[in-house]
């Protein structure tokens, strides 16, 4: 369970970082809904790439 949680924390940090960069470099505005959608999509991709512990955490 710990590995799944660690993966989830990294996933959230990565998505928030990408949203921050969007605001800084693309003159976009922060959008929490977009960030949450991005986290959900990235989580699906990570699970399909083999993140088994993350898949168990997200059930």
Which residue range forms the structural domain that includes residue 19? 2-58
The confidence score (pLDDT) of residue 15 equals 94
The confidence score (pLDDT) of residue 7 equals 94
46: left (phi over 0), alpha (psi -120 to 50) or beta: alpha
- Longest CA–CA span in the chain (Å) reads 38
- Spell out the per-residue pLDDT of the chain, length 59, in tens: 798 999 999 999 999 999 988 888 988 787 889 999 999 999 999 999 999 999 998 88
The confidence score (pLDDT) of residue 14 equals 95
Q: How many domains does the chain have?
A: 1
Is pTM beyond 0.85? Reply is no
Residue pair 11/39 in contact by the 8 Å Cβ criterion: yes
């Amino acid at each position: 369970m710990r590995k799944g949680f660690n993966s989830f924390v990294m996933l959230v940090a990565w998505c928030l970082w990408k949203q921050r960069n969007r605001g800084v470099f693309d003159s976009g505005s922060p959008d929490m809904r977009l960030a949450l959608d991005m986290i959900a999509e990235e989580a699906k991709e990570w699970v399909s790439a083999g993140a088994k512990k993350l898949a168990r955490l997200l059930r």
